[in-house]
């Protein structure tokens, strides 16, 4: 669809309309979760057979050591590519790592103690495509964070898991791999079954069933976020190589039928040129059946200088590519984006695989308040507070006054008890 946007509100209304909510799917997910909680393995095996054409039991639901060896049979050049990706992702994650910190102030020690979750469950999709890259992108941040136990869930159609998934898991030293997908996998990780040990946090992208399930279990278990269909926004001008822009858009659209793309420009002629090239590419690509549907989700936005930046931030896209003559003048002004790719030689596809930053990114305008998956996703912070007696004596009266205003007199009395002992000289250490 080609559209001229002159008011930001027009775009907001359009984005809101495009976020479909399917209550039927939500109810199905709730039923699956309820049954997993109640019937555990029995329900997990039932839904695995129903959706993946695979009838598991307590032994076959989990990948064996013998099955893991299948990963070693993949092509050597693919092994090398995945190893390169591993090193680059790990290097970036190490730069992101945060450490505990403390400071002292007049008899006080304050700070944050940062520790990893004990056990994480990661999810790698396995329906319409095979995603060893998602195994790396999800597991490596957990490894760098220091998570002790990492379990992987991925759908196993007919009981088989892609050897590429298995090799990626072996690179991450993951041996606990379950042949399960969808809402049933999320529920099994969240609540545990006889065969699946529950986790503290679930991370990794999935389909709409996985997303609804993560939303339902949040609170009983941690989640990384809700990753919707893939999306890309490409900023172009009269200098943009139209073929590059078109290729990058098609690359994201081939993920699934609901994938989205936005092309934003002051130059309407360039938008028409890119649109024409995409139409031709869709006819020739191998995943044409998907692309013919997702191409309907492309929005070509012709706007003016005044609304240019606000439109990019309103869309708050997962991937933002800036393919203009002076991209470095634009990117610092973008506040809402999952990942920003600068220039003609930094396509989002590099970010999908080997650039280093994570490819699990906020979608559906969630870049307004969410960040990419990182080691921080798998870490939690505990505030640390220590006061000496003198520091307590100096600061407690301020807290007591606030407690009085709030009508919480037991709060005040907890402090007053200590103040009285200090004044009478009967205080403990």
* Predicted confidence (pLDDT) per residue in 404-415, tens digit: 999 999 999 999
Query: What per-residue confidence (pLDDT) applies to 425?
Result: 83
H helix intervals, 360-408: 389-406
Non-local (6+) Cβ contacts of 388 within 8 A are: 107, 108
Instruction: Give the domain range for residue 258.
Output: 228-369
Q: 352 to each of 10, 17, 40, 140, 412, how far by Cα in Å? A: 31, 28, 35, 14, 54
Asked if residue 179 and residue 37 are part of one domain, the reply reads yes
β-partners of residue 382 are 113
Residue 4's pLDDT band, with cuts at 50, 70 and 90, is low
Asked if residue 264 and residue 219 are part of one domain, the reply reads no
Asked if residue 206 and residue 147 are part of one domain, the reply reads yes
Instruction: Assess whether pLDDT exceeds 70 at residue 117.
Output: yes
Asked if residue 278 and residue 173 are part of one domain, the reply reads no
Instruction: Assess whether pLDDT exceeds 90 at residue 275.
Output: yes
Selected residue with higher pLDDT from 21 and 89: 89
Q: Rounded mean pLDDT of the chain? A: 93
Asked if residue 69 and residue 55 are part of one domain, the reply reads yes
Query: What per-residue confidence (pLDDT) applies to 207?
Result: 87
The structural domain count of the chain equals: 3
Residue 320's pLDDT band, with cuts at 50, 70 and 90, is very high
Instruction: Assess whether pLDDT exceeds 90 at residue 67.
Output: yes
pTM of the predicted structure, to 2 decimals: 0.91
Supply the residues annotated as catalytic.
318-319
Element (H, E) at 184: helix 182-191
The stretch 247-264 carries a mean pLDDT of: 94
The stretch 212-238 carries a mean pLDDT of: 94
- Report strand pairing: 149-154 vs 119-123: parallel
DSSP 333: G
Asked if residue 303 and residue 252 are part of one domain, the reply reads yes
Asked if residue 250 and residue 212 are part of one domain, the reply reads no
Query: What per-residue confidence (pLDDT) applies to 19?
Result: 54
H helix intervals, 207-307: 208-217, 242-253, 268-284, 288-294
Instruction: Assess whether pLDDT exceeds 60 at residue 348.
Output: yes
The stretch 41-51 carries a mean pLDDT of: 96
Cα angle value 405/411/412 (rounded, 5°): 65
Asked if residue 301 and residue 210 are part of one domain, the reply reads no
Query: What per-residue confidence (pLDDT) applies to 304?
Result: 85
Asked if residue 416 and residue 358 are part of one domain, the reply reads no
The stretch 45-72 carries a mean pLDDT of: 94
Asked if residue 253 and residue 217 are part of one domain, the reply reads no
Asked if residue 198 and residue 93 are part of one domain, the reply reads yes
Query: What per-residue confidence (pLDDT) applies to 20?
Result: 57
Boundary of a domain, candidates 225, 252, 280: 225
Non-local (6+) Cβ contacts of 282 within 8 A are: 250, 288, 291, 292, 295
* Predicted confidence (pLDDT) per residue in 364-401, tens digit: 889 999 999 999 999 999 999 999 999 999 999 999 99
Q: What is the largest CA-CA distance in the chain?
A: 87
In a domain, 375, yes or no: no
Asked if residue 259 and residue 312 are part of one domain, the reply reads yes
In a domain, 2, yes or no: no
In a domain, 374, yes or no: no
The CATH number linked to 82 is 3.40.50.1980
């Amino acid at each position: 669809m080609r559209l001229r946007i002159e008011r930001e509100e027009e775009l907001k209304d359009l984005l809101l309309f495009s976020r479909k909510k399917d209550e039927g799917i939500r109810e199905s997910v709730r039923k699956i979760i309820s049954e997993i909680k109640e019937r555990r393995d029995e329900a997990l095996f039932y839904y695995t057979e129903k959706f993946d054409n695979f009838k598991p039991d307590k032994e076959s639901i989990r990948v064996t050591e013998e099955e893991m060896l299948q990963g070693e049979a993949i092509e050597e050049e693919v092994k090398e590519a995945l190893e390169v990706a591993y090193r680059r992702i790990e290097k970036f994650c190490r730069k992101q790592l945060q450490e505990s910190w403390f400071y002292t102030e007049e008899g006080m020690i304050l700070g944050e103690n940062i520790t990893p979750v004990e056990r994480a469950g990661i999810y790698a999709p396995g329906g319409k495509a095979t995603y060893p890259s998602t195994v790396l992108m999800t597991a490596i941040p957990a490894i760098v964070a220091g998570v002790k136990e990492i379990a992987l869930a991925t759908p196993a159609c007919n009981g088989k898991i892609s050897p590429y998934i298995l090799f990626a898991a072996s690179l991450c030293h993951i041996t606990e791999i379950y042949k399960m997908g969808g809402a049933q996998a999320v529920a099994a990780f969240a609540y545990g079954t006889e065969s699946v040990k529950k986790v503290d946090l679930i991370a990794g992208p999935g389909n709409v069933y996985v997303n609804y399930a993560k939303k339902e279990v949040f609170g009983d278990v941690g989640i990384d976020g809700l990753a919707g269909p893939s999306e890309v926004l490409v900023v172009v001008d009269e200098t943009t190589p139209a073929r590059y822009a078109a290729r990058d858009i098609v690359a994201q659209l081939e993920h699934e039928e609901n994938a989205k793309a936005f092309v934003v420009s002051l130059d309407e002629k360039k938008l028409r040129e890119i649109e024409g090239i995409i139409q031709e590419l869709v006819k020739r690509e191998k995943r044409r059946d998907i692309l013919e549907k997702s191409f309907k989700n492309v929005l070509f936005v012709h706007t003016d200088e005044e609304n240019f930046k606000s439109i990019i931030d309103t869309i708050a896209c997962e991937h933002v590519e800036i393919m203009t003559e002076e991209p470095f003048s634009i990117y610092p002004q973008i506040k809402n984006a999952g990942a920003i790719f600068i220039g003609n030689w930094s396509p989002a596809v590099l970010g999908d695989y080997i650039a280093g930053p994570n490819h699990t990114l906020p979608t559906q305008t969630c870049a307004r308040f969410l960040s990419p998956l990182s080691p921080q996703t798998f870490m939690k912070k505990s505030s640390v507070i220590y006061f000496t007696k003198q520091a307590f004596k100096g600061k407690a009266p301020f807290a007591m006054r606030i407690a009085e205003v709030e009508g919480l007199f037991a709060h005040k009395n907890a402090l007053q008890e200590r103040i009285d002992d200090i004044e009478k000289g009967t205080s403990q250490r």
